Structure 1
Amino acid sequence: MATASLLVICSAAARAQALAPSTLHFTSSEPETKYEPVQVITKERTQAITKEKTSERKLPVAHYRYVTPAGKRESAPVITQYYPKRIVYPVAKVDRHIDRKLMQAATIAQERAHAHSRSMCWHYVKEALLASGVIDSRPKSEFAKDAAQDLVSNYGFKKLSVKDPFAAPLGSVLVYGANRTAGHVEIRTRDGFVSDFRSRTPSPRPLLGVYAKL
């Protein structure tokens, strides 16, 4: 009986030893501290890096060498890059006091205009004003410089207190004078001027006045 009990105990111990892990891992409540290397940058190192970056930015500048009439040798830097400023012209403003049909006349004239002048500015402006309904008959004046008197006397146009063509409201009619020529007349568009041709800039002739129907 004692021998049987001893065999049972030995068998249980052997089985427990077989099931037990080969190594034991003990956990700790304190987190593991990791140490990483820290790079220390001294003042001398910072100055060295700054000098390297500064030296990299400096590029050699080409010079043109020449001799002056007095025989002195001189030089000047060569400009390799040039960025011209873009010319931006002001956009015409809308004046709520003038007849809205004048804006339609500007659109009609712009659609019918050409890229270059055909010396028919007053003819094209007449047709645009008539097609938009601003006027009910075709003006009889022949020369462009006479357009102002014709529009004021026969069609109810008023002269505006505007001296700068760029400040003329959208749809207004600009009349220019001339001594020995027929003058010029054009309509202010949103981004320029139009008559028988389109232009971003006004006529260089003397401005007689800016006219509109109120």
Structure 2
Amino acid sequence: MTVTNQPGWLPATFPVQLVEVTMGDRSGYTVRLRVPEADGWLDPVFASSAGRLPLMPRPEHATAFALTGPAHDLRAVPGWAELAAWMTRGHLPLLDENRYDLGIPPVNLEMDPEHWLPDLIVKAGVLANELMVALDMEEIFPYLGAGSPLDHLHDVLRRAGDGPRRSHVAEWRRLDRGLMASSWQTVTDMIEARLIRHG
């Protein structure tokens, strides 16, 4: 692997990513690696263990935990030792694309669709799906898995592209907003129960 960047920092393309997870008024940090599979999908792996994900109070603490903490799922990934060696030589950047707020969807979906934030809802859905897979959360699948109400919601929101038009908002108003908001709240509660907050 060849890594080139400004001194002290690993490049934005480095495979291991810092991830910020916000729920309500609290944020925590972890690291994620998306491992390519034979079928072309990327399998998300976090510094988790036994279906629980530690969240650290600061980004540098998340990196330190991944490097020196107890056994976690990243250690079983082929090539992890080499990646970890690079992480001891430079800091992982925290990119805006890796900041997720899981508290936004259940609150936002209770509002009139004209005030929805589709990009942030879909983005939160990406992380929730990854955690469902990485933490083996079968209990979330009926709410978030393929064919579920929230899966349909996210597909509908993605169709809005860069900005919703009146036709999109009209379509959103036909959705069961109460069901969507309560389903998302259930998902966030289930994820919250799998998080271990430090600090």
TM-score normalised by length of structure 2: 0.21
More helix by share: 2
Q: Which protein, 1 or 2, shows the higher relative CO under an 8 Å CA cutoff with sep ≥ 6? A: 2
TM-score normalised by length of structure 1: 0.20
